[in-house]
Structure 1
Amino acid sequence: MQTEQQVVFADAARMSGISSRSVHLAVTSPPYPMIEMWDAVFCCRNETKKALRHEKGMQAFESMHRDLDRVWKELDRVLVPGGIACINIGDATRTLDGEFALYPNHSRILSAMLALGFTNLPNILWRKQTNAPNKFMGSGMMPPGAYVTLEHEYVLILRKGGKRLFNDPEAKTNRRQSAFFWEERNHWFSDVWMDLKGTRQNTGDKKLRQRSGAYPVELAYRLISMFSVMGDTVLDPFLGTGTTLWAAAAAGRNGIGYEMDSAFAKMIGESCRQAVPQGRHRIAERLDAHLQFVREREENGKPIKYTNQVYGFPVITRQETELLLPLPVSVEESAENRWQVKYDVPMASAEGKPAPIPEKEATPMKAGQLSLFN
């Protein structure tokens, strides 16, 4: 088994290199309109520059989103019927012309996607941990001029058309093998995520780091595991530092990323190479967590009815009996901005001996790099 991870340094509003109806899942976090550090990304449009210069907040907000609308239209073209788009976005607060206001990025993107015909599925609130001692906004303890703090972002989950179909036997088998554990289902599919920390990476360039807007690799890995199957193609039209490709490779999916700033090229390559040690660590961690869950359940006298055919351990449901997690073993740059990742696929022996369960290993990180599976 192998996957390919590819980067295209171009504007995602014109993804001519991707065929229509060829992408199964999009996982992305665009630049956030009305967050000042991303103004330069949007100010290629004269209308946006003029609105900000004259401090016309809603005009600037709408102009910035019209830039993003072009990408969402392309996303609609390249997704397969039943494909899923997961968009991590935060709202913005800003004072312009003496007026403090919230700019609802999530609702503006949601409106644009619904207008394209997408179906909105239940969304996720990512409540980001913060240690800020003075996190309130506005006039402190004085009503009515104090403001509610923004301590969450959204993960919008949208589907193109009806449910994705898996009609032939091979596709059905692959879907069953791509299952997740029952206890993971209970945790991952909550509508509030509080266990993921925000991410900062040491790019060696302060301005570059600010432009990355990286989310934790666990966020991407979790969404990829939830909404795609092994061998699918995952797209990130705002790739940044390469987190989504890293997560796709670790999960046994193909990845395509679009990024306008080629200054990220070195970091993206480093991210893809991390897919082997970090991916192996995350898979071993998942298996170890399941075994701990089994032990605790059995100690409490709760029966477990089924057995996984690959690893030989107990599982709660029939849908988990064919579950397997391919281990990445090598990554090689096959061409400029393309990487091939190869995997060991676990399987029971001909005599029925279960596949070995990998042990958790130390995961080497580069100095200053903080984005781990959290």
Structure 2
Amino acid sequence: MDQKLEAICGDALEELKKIPTESIDLIVTDPPYNLNEDYGKTKDNLEFDDYLLFTREWLSEAKRVLKKSGSIYVFMGMRYISYVYGILEKELGFTFNSWITWYYTQGIGKTKGFSPRHDDILLFNKNSKKFTFNLDDIRVPQKYYRSVNNMRGANPGNVWEFSHMHYCNRNRKKHPTQKPEALYERMILASSNKGDTVLDPFLGSGTLLRVCQNTERNGIGIDINSEYIEMSKKRLEEKFKGFDSMDERMARIPNDLNDPQIRMEYIENHIKWFLHNHNDAIEDFLFSVKEKYFEKMLESNQLYIFDQYDIKY
């Protein structure tokens, strides 16, 4: 695949106007929430009506550049999310698909009020019937092996638990609102195909381009801050060892894998299905396998899987 990854420095609205009509398969973006966050060259501190005007303008351009079968994911804080929903559905005619809650265990601490522990992500489709959704690419492992279950996995649902990008994370960049790569991985795998073009008008630390790079998509990112553009370009040059975060369910091994043939077939498929972009998680998964099924695998001469990955037993 002749892959194209482009990081553009410029104003989101002006750069969006330069993109050809109906040329983008998917938009995934984390725009400013207008919470007075300092982004180096800019601060998101517009007046209420000015912020809604800005949102209306860039979303209008987003609709124009999306293909008829395209989709858009928009991160948004609670103060404005209902307005963004209204713009997308009532004003621009998008079709609502899902309201996703990203739950995390650590965040801002408050002493007068409840501390926030989630962000919201709106998924809208441009066409109500014709749009991409690759469920098999984003399934999560089942808790139990049952012949009636789809062992390719279950739908992950609309509540996603991923850790914040803590400052101790090996991939943490100098950006105040960096998002985990696994969030973008799930959205991009679900709503685009290999070779498609994915756009982020507010690129920030470059997460979208990094995920596109390793999922065989073309990517376009726009940011007004030249330092963030350079950060994103350098990030693309880093060696890929697996995405910097993961849904913890991806590493669980189902209970009741008692049939030797089914067990080995499942273990090998699990690595291929769920850990394809998470090589650094394979070892932990196999330790879980060893803890749960070691005696049975010993009896059936199946310990070779541990040898393949240098897991001592």
Whether these two folds match at TM > 0.5 is yes
Contact 1:76–1:116 under 8 Å retained in 2: yes
- Which runs of 5 or more residues in structure 1 are unaligned? 49-59, 92-103, 138-146, 167-174, 204-208, 328-357, 361-374
More strand by share: 1
> Residue in 2 aligned with 1:96?
none
Partner of 2:224: 260
Deviations 1:40-76 (A, max 9, x none): 4456xxxx4xxxxxxxxxxx22211211221111110
Distance 1:314 1:241 in 2: 31
Alignment of 1:95-244 (within 5 A): 104-114=79-89, 115-130=91-106, 135-137=110-112, 147-164=113-130, 179-181=137-139, 183=141, 189-200=156-167, 201-203=172-174, 209-210=175-176, 213-244=177-208
Offset of 1:240 from its aligned partner? 0.9
What secondary structure does 2:100 align onto?
A: strand
How many Å apart are 1:198 and its aligned residue?
3.8
State the secondary structure of the residue aligned to 2:242.
Answer: helix
What's the offset of the Cα at 1:149? Answer: 3.2
- Change in CA separation of 1:7 and 1:202 when aligned onto 2, cut-off 3 Å: closer
Q: Is the 8 A contact 1:119 1:159 kept in 2?
A: yes
Pair 1:24–1:90, CA change in 2 (3 A):
same
CA contact (8 A) 1:188 1:222 kept: no
Work out whether 1:79 is the aligned partner of 2:46.
no
Match of 1:369 in 2: none
Question: Aligned-residue CA RMSD in angstroms?
Answer: 4.0
Using a 3 Å threshold, how does the CA distance of structure 1 residues 153 and 188 change in structure 2: closer, same or farther? farther
- Deviation of 1:324 after TM superposition, in Å, equals 11
- The offset of 1:136, in angstroms, is 3.3
CA contact (8 A) 2:29 2:201 kept: yes
SS at match of 1:278: coil
Q: Does 1:24 align with 2:25?
A: yes
Q: Calculate the TM-score normalised by the size of structure 2.
A: 0.69
Distance 1:276 1:82, change over 3 A: same
Question: Alignment partner of 2:4: what SS?
Answer: strand
Provide the TM-score with structure 1 as the length reference.
Answer: 0.59
2:253 maps to 293
Distance 1:20 1:251 in 2: 24
Aligned partners of 2:37 and 2:44 also within 8 Å: no
Where structure 2 has 5 or more consecutive residues not aligned to the other structure, the ranges are 143-151, 279-307
The aligned counterpart of 1:355 is none
Does structure 1 retain, via aligned residues, the 8 Å contact 2:138–2:156?
no
Q: 1:12 to 1:202 in 2, by over 3 A?
A: closer
Partners of 1:116 and 1:275 in 2: how far apart? Answer: 41
Contact 2:178 2:204 in 1 (8 A): yes
1:76–1:275 distance in 2 versus 1, CA, 3 Å? farther
- Post-superposition CA distance 1:156-191 (Å, at most 9, x none): 11111223368xxxxxxxx79x83446388666322
